Chains A and B, each alone.
Chain A
Amino acid sequence: QKEVEQDPGPLSVPEGAIVSLNCTYSNSAFQYFMWYRQYSRKGPELLMYTYSSGNKEDGRFTAQVDKSSKYISLFIRDSQPSDSATYLCAMSDKNRDDKIIFGKGTRLHILP
């Protein structure tokens, strides 16, 4: 089983829709969970950061972590065409927090 699994998409939704992105993972020691956004030919940009389980909200973005199911989600409300990008989940072990493992990324297209 891969350490981090993420559906590569592409995922196409109309402007204004709620987008749901998710990842599953196998390593129960993961404690730090991140979502990065990557535009074409650019470096990843941190969107959300959570530690352990729970929810975190920042503007139109909400991150959820369910450690019991080894499942994390990112919700985007009122999606905009500028949200079109690849979204990468990332995570690390509390005891090896310098080794951050990325999912393959989900390509998202917001249709005007």
Chain B
Amino acid sequence: EPEVTQTPSHQVTQMGQEVILRCVPISNHLYFYWYRQILGQKVEFLVSFYNNEISEKSEIFDDQFSVERPDGSNFTLKIRSTKLEDSAMYFCASRGTIAGELFFGEGSRLTVL
């Protein structure tokens, strides 16, 4: 069964460092998403991406965040200068033509020290 894969599964970084989280969406999907979940809290929308551009973003997704689809298979989230409060599980998701039918990866746990 096709799945969304994410790397790394866990990353520990120092405050102020840049982090890149990587995702390989399901191959025939065209819509891509990043969500985050701080421990014990809700799954929060960060950004959606379609046709090589951001289609929606939340107020959380400020200038320190960026997304990119550098090739035909990868979808990345970059955090330029990490803060302690960026510590969370980051989930990538993709979908086909049905709005709302998101397929999530297993997540990348980011710990900022």
Chain A complexes with chain B: yes
Interface residues of A (CB under 8 A from B): 32-34, 38, 41-46, 49, 88, 90, 92, 96-105
Q: Jot down 22 A-B pairs with beta carbons below 8 A, ordered by A.
A: A33-B100, A34-B101, A43-B4, A43-B104, A44-B43, A44-B104, A46-B100, A46-B103, A49-B101, A88-B42, A96-B56, A97-B99, A98-B31, A98-B33, A98-B50, A98-B55, A99-B45, A99-B56, A99-B58, A100-B102, A102-B43, A104-B41
Tell me if A97 and B42 are in contact (CB < 8 A).
Answer: no
The distance in angstroms between the C-alpha atoms of A100 and B100, with both chains bound, is 7
Tell me if B100 and A34 are in contact (CB < 8 A).
Answer: yes
Tell me the dominant secondary structure on chain B's binding face. Answer: strand
Residues of B in contact with A, size category? 20 to 34
Q: Does B91 contact A (CB under 8 A)?
A: yes
The distance in angstroms between the C-alpha atoms of A88 and B102, with both chains bound, is 13
Tell me the dominant secondary structure on chain A's binding face. Answer: strand
Chain B residues with CB below 8 A from A98, complex form: 31, 33, 48, 50, 55-56, 99
